[in-house]
Amino acid sequence: MASRSVTSVTISEDPIAYENTHVHAIYEQIAPHFSSTRYKPWPVIAAFLSSLPPGWVGLDSGTGNGKYLPLPAESPGRVWTIGLDRSLNLLKIAKNAGGVCREVIWANVSDQPWRKGSFDYAISIATIHHLATYERRKQAVQRLLQAVSPSHGRILIYVWAVDQDDLSKREIPVVDDLSAAEEPGKDVFVPWVLPSDTVQTRQEQVFNRYYHMFAKGELTQLVSEAAEEMGLYVGAKSERAGIHRGIDFKQNGWERSNYYVEVHCWAV
């Protein structure tokens, strides 16, 4: 049986094929059980969605079972979030999140199935860390920046952190190789245990999912570099005269073993 421990990995094959095997195929198999454990919104994400102006339309890139699609809970329908995910089995659950028929699309977070600037806001919760290279993670951030309005778009991104809290069941392995230790973050397999009562077998099954665990400051750097590559200024609108488009970090924090950033787009 596979180990239940978090283990270090080295990616030596095509990253798309690697993700297909070690991320997408696994979520298709564990979707119902995974969804049963994902039902309570995290406070910062719930507050972000509650802060949005009425009538805004947004994107949940990597929506999973769609637990954030019904929010804000205190005023359902005040904003409308469209879900995107690569797992068809999770999307089938997200389609009826909160007991209401939702708009969802089957696609990858690196795809661009809509016109640029179509959304007022976007969230990406615990998704970008499943992409197997820096370039693919940067591309996913750029897709979020392209999806929202360049003048008022807001984006919230969450990724798993190397720094785990005391309640975490995950123990991140120490990297012994000096050259690897100099790299930000850690590539690991995180096991998902499917109990025997959820499958037609008497034995539990363990699936090893790929994650890039982010180091402190790595997410901010990734978003900044993604924006700069698109020709966007990183900083407040008032900081530079003659600059026409940019992004500003409104939040940059750590919550429940995750790093997160909130970004606001601006244009003049």
Q: Is residue 67 part of a domain?
A: yes
Q: Is residue 9 part of a domain?
A: no
CB 154 within 8 A of CB 52: yes
Pairing label, strands 258-267, 154-160: antiparallel
CB 4 within 8 A of CB 206: yes
Q: Check residue 184 and report its DSSP letter.
A: S
What's the confidence (pLDDT) of residue 210?
98
What SS3 state is found at 218? helix
What are the CA-CA distances from residue 166 to residues 170, 171, 202, 220, 259 (Å)? 10, 10, 32, 24, 15
Dihedrals phi, psi of 8, to nearest 5 degrees: -70, 145
Q: Is residue 110 part of a domain?
A: yes
The yes-or-no verdict on residue 118 having pLDDT over 70 is yes
CB 65 within 8 A of CB 90: yes
Tell me the pLDDT of the chain averaged across its residues. 91
- Rounded to an integer, the average pLDDT of 20-40 is 94
Over residues 146-159, the pLDDT tens digits come to 999 999 999 999 99
Q: What percent of the chain has pLDDT over 90?
A: 80
Q: Is residue 210 part of a domain?
A: no
CATH number at residue 78: 3.40.50.150
**CB-based burial label for 141 (10 Å; 0-12, 13-18, 19+):** buried
Residue 227: enclosing H or E segment and its boundaries? helix 218-229
Question: Cα Rg for the chain, rounded, in angstroms?
Answer: 19
Q: What percent of the chain has pLDDT over 70?
A: 89
Of 141 and 172, the one with more pLDDT: 141
User: Which band of pLDDT confidence, cut at 50, 70 and 90, is reported for residue 38?
Assistant: confident
CB 186 within 8 A of CB 98: no
DSSP string across 103-153: -EEE--TT---S-TT-BSEEEEES-GGG-SSHHHHHHHHHHHHHHB-TTT-
Please tell me the distance from the alpha carbon of residue 25 to that of residue 27, in angstroms, as a whole number.
6
Q: Is residue 95 part of a domain?
A: yes
How many domains are contained in the chain?
1
Q: Is residue 244 part of a domain?
A: yes
Q: Is residue 207 part of a domain?
A: no
Q: Is residue 7 part of a domain?
A: no
Structural domain including 64 reads: 14-161+216-267
User: Which band of pLDDT confidence, cut at 50, 70 and 90, is reported for residue 99?
Assistant: very high
Over residues 176-230, the pLDDT tens digits come to 444 444 568 999 999 999 887 655 656 789 999 999 999 999 999 999 999 999 9
What's the confidence (pLDDT) of residue 262?
98
Strand order in the sheet with 80-85: 104-106, 80-85, 57-61, 121-125, 154-160, 258-267, 245-255, 233-234
What's the confidence (pLDDT) of residue 1?
42
Dihedrals phi, psi of 101, to nearest 5 degrees: -65, 120
* CB burial string 72-86: b at 16+ within 10 A, e below: beeeeeebebbbbbb
